[in-house]
Structure 1
């Protein structure tokens, strides 16, 4: 069981857990592992290579098998990436010429000739009816034989794997980090936390579990292990019930509650009774999830347990038999009569909710006295507001400096995005300045004050991970809004998907926009070749998995934005397919190689979101002519079928403008707050190793940092957010 959890440590930390024995002659096997890892863009650190060399050969081989399997999946090399046009990117035909060749092939086939002639008489031909269209015409082995080996260059990606400690200790440390995270986790991280909690529930626990979704997962493990769950709100009980039914602990999606065993029902009702008995006011939270409580009551049968009368009150409130006005309802009543001062006084008892309501309160206030009262209340309670909420509000206030009439972008927990005109009245500059100053002062007070701070310049424009839902699982993935440089002449996108039950057709496309967000051109299955590049060909089914690629020559791009997107033309959505991911590779000039070369992969991101159109990121050309990537992690609702880049380009352009013109709170902001008389900040040149311990913040962990250094990379960037 514990060995099966080893990939979690490698994925989350890029450290390889190493046992303490038995000792032996593992040097040859370790060097062989290092050589094989290089072929997929990874290598062993000097310390890890030395440590493995001192173990027995059998132990090294066992570690090598698990490590290689994990990193290959991390980069997307665990599947076969075939292409429709066997010589791609060479030999891609003109779109119309290709379609005509498919028609000609169908006319030469006795089985399809008659049907094709009938379609031609109507003037419309269904491409999917043509036997040569949408299905691989050669095997994966045939494709490999037709392609050249990769010509390695210094620009190929190399990700260093570092030495970890004992596997049990690494798992415990990872469990504590995930369970105690101050920011919500993404879906994959929650799955990993569930697996870790099952093993670690009887060991060391975090001092606090501030994120309620994480608490629900830990509570499930505690209940299964026979320990009492950690409950202090009625919603904690509801989330735990969702976890026990393999439902959504975020409560964003409805859970179909399972029949629960009598011991579990007793535990939930007893916990619910204790919460309400200790604080009857918490019944006010029931109304927020009234329908969920009513459905859960059908499974818990509270009427069978008269010894817990307070638990029964919860379901009475849910059914409307007892009144328990919610906190939010009381605030709404005050604002309905324009009693801003009364609403502020009430909200001071819930600092986080006060901060989330600041914009509305300032817009509702009619007098300067009321606006001053709102700001004064925020200044008073800011020490009690979580760092994540305070920074989120700080980012919001910064962007409210823009004039009215701008675009307002909404993104829900599942990455679904939509945009509308921002018709809100402005927030006064004096109030904004006071609030921003108060938040910055409080953030500075909470941040560590290292003596020496070493910062990778490429990390400065990485957005702060204020929510794990604003990113995706994978390699090289950064939080939504992050900007990073793109170094290379040839940009190659790829998408892979494997259907679960029904025929599924994903279409990789690239929309090229001008500086004013108007359409320049696009590459897709309807436009296989353009000045900028080539499309690898349309694959319309994926029972064994399928891939599509787009090559772009950045120097030839005529627009200012390149927006890769994945459109679902037919079949299962991103959350129904067995597997789906997007990524991009960077190559130098005429650097040859097969369509998929793991050493050149810079990003591999899982596609798991609500919608039929995925927008993973956008590439922007700066005023200096250099290209940068900005992470989106967004999904559009799209149509039930036949989504195409031509049909959604206006929607995409409008959404993109709202995202690009919004300024994110980045690592640069926190570094600026930490810099001061007691802290020396140095920008890392990529080579020089400091002579003493430092706090290092960068995209990748350097080899050879002095012992005692604190290291912050994208994998643990959430730890930099002050509690």
Structure 2
């Protein structure tokens, strides 16, 4: 367990909890550890190297083994990445030539000849029936022997591991950061919070836990150690029940409630009773989740506990036996009656709901007097709205300036995306501009006075992480909508998957689009070569794990957009396979090396979404000729089997266009607000290192900053979002 917690700290913070062990002369072992890290694109900070050098050699080796295992998994180097074409990207054949080669070998094989001749007689060829198609024809070791050594480059990725505090302190800090996050966490972070909460439930707690899913996970741990529960709505109790049953605390998916022990049933009923007794109006919250509450009531047996009548009322409302008029119903009635002023007055008691209804209210308002009332109400309640919602509405209103009829993209919490024309009437420009100015002023009021502000220019176009669900777990992953520079001549995508039970075939493809988003060409198992690009070959099963690659020479690609995608052709979904991940590498033109070289990996993300087509990101060539990536983290529904790039090109093009042309609020937006006062803002390239404390915002933590500095990097970017 200690190793897993140490790994958790490394993954989340890029810090190594202060290594322990007897003192000694570990300098040589520490340098060897540093060299081993370099092979996977990591290095020890000077401070961490010095700390390890003062330990015994055995202690350094012990630390190195555990750390190397963790960072190898972070970058995707914990598995063997083989390729179908042994010397990829060299000598990739034309598609038809390759298929004919497979047919010729099948005709020469007594076991396959008869079946193949029958197929050819009917004019249909099943590639999977060819003995040499879709399965590695050489071992991993033979592939390595056929490849040249990697030529080191100054452009290779280097991720620094810093010296942390004691493990207990690091875990407490991480628990407080995750539990107190002002934005929802992704599934992996929520799972890590669960492990941390079980360890930290009786220790220091965050001042508040604003995200309900986080509260459910923490409450589960608190219930386990007999601590008071944190409940202020009936839905908090429902989420806790889901957590106790191993279900979905986000309430997106139905949970099959387990039989609960009598003490747990009592705790949940006491919690419900207290919430409703304090505010009977909260019974109205039951309507949003009536069916789950009915099923939960069947497990809690509230009729056995007459001393908690308010808890019984919750389930009576769920069954329709007791009336509790919902807030949403009252608002909807006023809107149906075109009573905008009445709806605004009611919504002022629920500031978050008012903010989410601003677009609708401004569109249906009958005259300027009503629109003025809407804007005035928004300004009045803005201080009571969470920073995440303020920023989300600000981003929404900014994008409403675009022409009606442009594509409108919807993305659910699981990353599933769909596009529809925007048929809404426009929001009046003057009212929209007044709201934008008011929201900017509210954000400026909440932002801290940072003192001296040092900025890594590469962070300016990173989208604000308004939800952890807009970012996949992995290394070097940016939130959906972020834009980052692509500095390299060779761009190489990779996908790895390992099936759990049945034969599973994932296909890595790339759709190449013109500037108007029409199709130029594609790379896939049906098109192994295109201008500037090559595919490593189709693998059609993965009992031991399988990899596919696409290599692109960016100076030869003539298209404007490159859209990598992973299509599920057959078998298990992204959530059913034992493991699956996607990433990309960048190399200089003269660099050789294996198909997978961990030090050249710029990004590696887990594939864990609902849908049969994954769209991790899109690459776009600008007017200046430079390539930039825009991060998507999207999944399309696709079809149940045989998803192919040539079949989904229209739907992919629509989704890409909708997100590429949408403008996300970025880190640069918040920095722009901070710099409105006398704050000193420096775009910093790492030299010289300032003597005093600063606030640093960048992609990675630099070495040498004053210990009292506040550092914001990708690992804790959510801390930028005011509460």
TM-score class, shorter-chain normalisation, is: over 0.9
Corresponding residue for residue 115 of structure 1: 115
CA offset at residue 676 of structure 1? 3.3
Per the alignment, residue 656 of structure 2 pairs with 656
Report the alpha carbon displacement of residue 23 of structure 1 after superposing the two structures with TM: 2.1
Distance 1:10 1:492 in 2: 26
What secondary structure does 2:647 align onto? helix
| Runs (5+) with no aligned partner, structure 1 | none
What corresponds to 1:347 in structure 2? 347
Separation (CA, whole Å) in 2 of partners of 1:103 and 1:600? 37
1:303 has 2:309 as partner:
no
1:4 shift after superposition: 2.5
Give 2:32's aligned residue. 32
> 1:416, 1:636 within 8 Å by CA — same for their partners in 2?
yes
**Partner residue of 2:158?**
158
State the match for 1:391 in structure 2: 391
Shift, 1:180, TM fit = 0.3
Q: Is the 8 A contact 2:701 2:711 kept in 1?
A: yes
CA distance in 2, matches of 1:135, 1:3: 36
Counterparts of 1:379 and 1:531 in 2: how far apart (Å)? 54
Query: For residues 42-53 of structure 1, what are the structure 2 equivalents within 5 Å?
Result: 42-53=42-53
Find the aligned partners of 2:677 and 2:406 in 1 and give their Cα distance: 40
Is residue 63 of structure 2 the alignment partner of residue 63 of structure 1? yes
Does the CA contact (< 8 Å) of 2:454 and 2:684 recur in 1?
A: yes
CA distance in 2, matches of 1:2, 1:323: 52
Q: CA deviation at 1:508?
A: 0.2
Look up the match of 2:548: 548
Give the Cα–Cα distance (whole angstroms) in 2 for the partners of residues 637 and 704 of structure 1: 47
Q: CA deviation at 1:20?
A: 5.7
1:689 partnered with 2:689: yes
CA displacement at 1:232 relative to structure 2: 0.9
Q: How does 1:509-548 map to 2 (within 5 A)?
A: 509-548=509-548
Q: What displacement does 1:436 show?
A: 0.8
Counterparts of 2:77 and 2:565 in 1: how far apart (Å)?
21
**2:140 aligned partner:** 140
Which residue pairs with 1:87 in the alignment?
A: 87
Structure 2 distance, partners of 1:240, 1:214, is 10
Alignment of 1:637-656 (within 5 A): 637-656=637-656
Name the count of aligned residue pairs. 723
Deviations 1:236-273 (A, max 9, x none): 00000110111110001111111111111111111111
Aligned to 1:276: 276
Distance 2:571 2:228 in 1: 44
Question: Any idea what SS the aligned residue of 2:635 has?
Answer: strand
State the shift of 1:403 in Å.
Answer: 1.6
Report the Cα distance in structure 2 between the residues aligned to 1:132 and 1:482, rounded to whole angstroms. Answer: 42
User: What pairs up with 1:544-623 in 2 under 5 angstroms?
Assistant: 544-623=544-623
The TM-score, its normalising length taken from structure 2, stands at 0.99
Residue aligning to 1:438:
438
Query: What residue is the counterpart of 1:702 in the other structure?
Result: 702
Please give the residue correspondences for 1:34-433 in structure 2 after superposition, counting only pairs within 5 Å: 34-433=34-433
Cα distance in 1, alignment partners of residues 651 and 425 from structure 2: 25
Residue aligning to 1:495: 495
SS state at 2:112 partner:
helix
How far has the Cα of 1:433 moved from its partner? 1.1
Per-residue CA deviations over 1:604-625 (Å, capped at 9, x if unaligned) read 0110111000000000101100
CA contact (8 A) 1:567 1:612 kept: yes
Q: CA deviation at 1:352?
A: 0.7
How far, CA to CA, are the matches of 2:504 and 2:3 in structure 1? 35
2:21, 2:63 → 1: CA distance? 13
Other structure's SS at 1:420 match: strand
**Cα pair 1:565 1:613 within 8 Å, conserved:** yes
Q: Partner of 2:715: helix, strand, or coil? A: helix
1: CA distance, partners of 2:129 / 2:229: 58
SS in 2 for 1:260: coil
Q: Distance in 2 between matches of 1:216 and 1:707?
A: 34
SS of match in other structure, 1:361? helix
CA contact 1:21–1:55 (8 Å) conserved in 2: yes
1:431-452 C-alpha deviation (Å, 9 max, x unpaired)? 1111111111111111111221
CA contact (8 A) 2:20 2:59 kept: no
Shift of 1:694: 1.1
Distance 1:191 1:244 in 2: 14
- Cα distance in structure 1, aligned partners of 2:439 and 2:217: 32
Unpaired runs of at least 5, structure 2: none
Structure 2 match to 1:713: 713
| Aligned mates of 1:21, 1:510 — CA distance in 2 | 49
Aligned partners of 2:574 and 2:608 also within 8 Å: yes
Report the Cα distance in structure 2 between the residues aligned to 1:450 and 1:496, rounded to whole angstroms. 42
- C-alpha separation in 1, matches of 2:246 and 2:394: 35
Secondary structure at 2:591's aligned position in 1? coil
Q: What is the CA-CA distance between 1:550 and the residue it aligns to?
A: 0.2
Query: 3-state SS of the aligned residue for 1:556?
Result: coil
Q: Is the 8 A contact 1:2 1:168 kept in 2?
A: no
Q: Report deviation, 1:307.
A: 1.8
Deviation of the 1:21 alpha carbon = 5.0
Give 1:706 shift.
2.0
